[in-house]
């Protein structure tokens, strides 16, 4: 069974801090994704990666960056945290489209991040 | 513009009753449509996927339908249980090499005893 693990369930940081959210998957998936989920807005894609050291901007990349140094690990970085980045952050992984367009994304259980 | 609209936003039903959640989309070209269930405090988990050629698919007490002509899907839950309380998210994958995912905002279902 696919397991996507996010390093923290809850995190509280201060405005201006640099914040790292970590995600690890154990199914050798090429694709990894970072979303944020806010009430009334649903899931919005921040960044995704198709392979090691590759990254693509999603719909709302401003204020975020990512790192993918190893296939199984995808990190989301808040360069200088702001209060409007308080949210639930979800990581997901999947097979590449070429090998399984009908395969689901597998999600972690999320990190609830509060910026004070 | 590619969009996925879900209704209702929230729903409260009594245990044992049936309910139907709706998903309308304007995504074109279309590849597939997937329903996810998201329990409180957990990540979404796939319930079922509908491709262009499929009209109905069941997964236990969950039955999904797809009308590709009208671009509508529904998720019917039979004999609801307390454990069905969750958010249900409809996600449409567009066609082509990009195959972008378009997420609906979800329906929050509460099943009361």
Q: Model confidence over B40-86: pLDDT tens digits?
A: 999 999 999 999 888 999 999 999 999 999 999 999 999 999 999 99
Q: Closest Cα partner for A35 from A12, A4, A1?
A: A4
B2: contact with A, CB 8 A cutoff: no
pLDDT tens profile A26-52: 999 999 999 999 998 999 999 999 999
User: CA of A22: how far to CAs of A8, A44, A71, B87, in Å?
Assistant: 8, 18, 13, 25
Q: What's the token pair of residue B90?
A: 């409809």
Nearest CA in chain A to B46: A104
A33 vs chain B: nearest CA distance in angstroms? 12
Among A44, A102, A109, the residue with its CB nearest the CB of B42 is: A109
A89's CB contacts (< 8 A; 6+ apart) are A6, A21, A34, A35, A36, A37, A76, A110, A111, A112, A113
Per-residue model confidence (pLDDT) at position B2: 84
Per-residue model confidence (pLDDT) at position A2: 67
Per-residue model confidence (pLDDT) at position B95: 78
Tokens 């969950």 found at: B62
């Amino acid at each position: 069974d696919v397991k996507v693990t996010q390093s923290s369930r809850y995190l509280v940081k201060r405005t201006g801090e640099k914040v790292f959210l970590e995600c690890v998957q154990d199914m050798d998936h090429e694709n990894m994704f970072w979303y944020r989920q806010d009430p009334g807005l649903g899931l919005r894609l921040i960044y995704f990666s198709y392979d090691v050291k590759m990254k693509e901007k999603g719909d709302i990349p401003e204020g975020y960056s990512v790192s993918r140094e190893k296939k199984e690990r995808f990190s989301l970085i808040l360069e200088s945290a702001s209060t409007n980045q308080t949210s639930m952050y979800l990581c997901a992984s999947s097979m590449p489209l070429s090998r399984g367009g009908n395969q689901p994304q597998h999600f972690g259980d999320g990190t609830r991040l509060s910026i004070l | 513009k590619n969009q996925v609209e879900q209704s209702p936003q929230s729903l409260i039903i009594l245990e044992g009753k049936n309910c139907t959640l709706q998903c309308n989309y304007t995504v074109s070209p279309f590849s597939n449509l997937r329903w996810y269930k998201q329990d409180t405090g957990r990540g979404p988990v796939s319930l079922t996927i509908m491709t262009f050629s499929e009209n109905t698919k069941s997964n236990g007490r969950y039955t999904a339908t797809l009308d590709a002509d009208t671009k509508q899907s529904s998720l019917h839950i039979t004999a609801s249980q307390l454990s069905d309380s969750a958010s249900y998210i409809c996600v449409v994958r567009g066609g082509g090499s990009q195959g972008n995912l378009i997420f609906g905002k979800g329906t929050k279902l509460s099943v009361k005893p």
